[in-house]
Chain A
Amino acid sequence: MAGHAAAIASPYSVPPGLMQALQVVVLVLVAAAATGVVLIRVPVRQTIAVSAYGLLLALMFLAFQAPDVTLSELTVGAVALPILLLLTLAKVRSRQK
């Protein structure tokens, strides 16, 4: 069974050291962004933070060779999730006025 890869002749291959460096950088950014999302206590500002966190997660999925998951995370994190959060906050705020 084919195990690890030798040099591949596909047009999408990059030097392995470069890919590893990219993955490490993106992982560090994702960990920092997750900490940032949790430490922001105001919900409206946290909505923007969670949208940026979704974008960084999508970049990480791309670096892990998973374009399908990237598409899902982009659409959900940029469209569906901020709309749900902002509409809920608007509804709650209008009642608390």
Chain B
Amino acid sequence: MTPALRRWLFFAGLAGLMAFYLWGMKGLPGFGNYPGPYGFIINHIAVGQTNATGVVSAVNFEYRGFDTVGEEFILFIAATGVAIVLRRLRDEQDENPAPDEALDRAASRTSDAVKVGALMFVGPAVLLGWYLGSHAQTSPSGGFQGGVVLASAFVMIYLSGEFLVFRRISPVSLIDAVGAAGAGGFAAVGLTAVVLGMPYLANFLPLGTVPGAVSSSGTIALISFFVGIEVAAAFILIIGELLEQTLIVRQGRH
């Protein structure tokens, strides 16, 4: 199939797809004229029912918690897949090492400005990630964002040139265990509700008195914590595996 023929075939298919899309779009009520009842209902009753002022996180972890379990396990499986594919690749590479790769790669030293700047931001990044992960029920934050910020704190340690330190404070077995604890913890919170005689993922912890306080809203805060550590572990695992691929030759030169 020549490239020109492929392009014409693509445009024909795209014309059909766009025709269907625009035909379906005409049935929408227009931008800004949101008609549907669910948004307004949830906005009115969420704070009263769950004592959480962050309605988006309440929807994520309480009203639609089952969907979030599925999404978190997609993340978990993706991280596991990356680990499996790249670790097998690394084992095959150890069997037949390329002889010239180590010689013509000059390991350049990181400049002091980059080193100081990166190390200066590690502490605030960990603090910010922890804050985001624990305040899901009050303000725009949550486990997902907090987990990525927490993982970026570890990445900054690598950026400051200390790959061995990065490897030493995040050994692969520990990161695997933390990720599994996060994913399993989320499922376990749901199962605890079943053990207590309620539907899966029902809110069984005390709801607190002040809406939007950190200790309020029952299982939402707990689930957000588990999601945070799971997302952080997944991203540290993925980036660690990719780093092992690229820096396997530099380890002998430090």
Does chain A touch chain B in the assembled complex, meaning CB atoms less than 8 Å apart? Answer: yes
Residues of A within 8 A of B (CB): 1-4, 67-68, 70-72, 75-76, 79-80, 83-84, 87-88, 90-91, 94, 97
A67 to B101, CA, bound (A): 46
- Let me know if A83 and B155 touch, CB within 8 A: yes
Measured between beta carbons, the chain A residues less than 8 angstroms from B35 are 3
B246 touching A90, Cβ below 8 Å: yes
Cβ-defined partner of A1 (8 Å) among B33, B40, B101, B132: B40
Provide the bound-state CA to CA distance between A88 and B144, in Å: 24
Pairs of residues from A and B, 10 with the lowest C-beta to C-beta distance, nearest first? A67-B140, A87-B242, A75-B148, A79-B152, A71-B145, A68-B140, A91-B245, A90-B246, A68-B56, A91-B246
Residues of A within 8 Å of B142, CB to CB, are: 68
* B239 close to A (CB within 8 Å): yes
| Interchain CA distance A53-B140 in the complex, whole Å | 22
Known contacts A72-B144, A79-B155: A84-B242 contact under CB 8 Å: yes
| A75/B145 in contact, CB under 8 A | yes
Contacts of B245 in A (CB 8 A): 87, 91
Could you say which residues of chain B place their CB within 8 Å of the CB of A72?
A: 144-145, 148
With A1-B40, A94-B105, A97-B104: A80-B148 Cβ-Cβ less than 8 Å: yes
Task: Determine whether B217 belongs to the interface, using a CB cutoff of 8 Å to chain A.
Answer: no
Q: Is there a chain A Cβ closer than 8 Å to B37's Cβ?
A: yes
| Contact A2 B56, beta carbon cutoff 8 Å | no
Which residues of B82-121 are within 8 A (CB) of A?
A: 101, 104-105
Q: Is B243 an interface residue (CB 8 A)?
A: yes
Kindly list chain B residues whose C-beta atoms are within 8 Å of the C-beta of A79. Answer: 148-149, 151-152, 155
A-contacting residues, B179-201, CB 8 Å: none
Q: Residue of A at shortest CB range from B144?
A: A72
Complex Cα–Cα for A97 and B242 (A) = 18
| B152 in complex: contacting residue of A3, A71, A80, CB < 8 Å | A80
In the bound complex, CA of A24 to CA of B102 (Å) = 52
Complex alpha-carbon distance, A36 and B152, angstroms: 27
How near does chain B come to A10, taking the closest CB pair, in angstroms? 14
Interface string of B223-254 (1 = CB under 8 A from A): 00000000000010011001101100000000
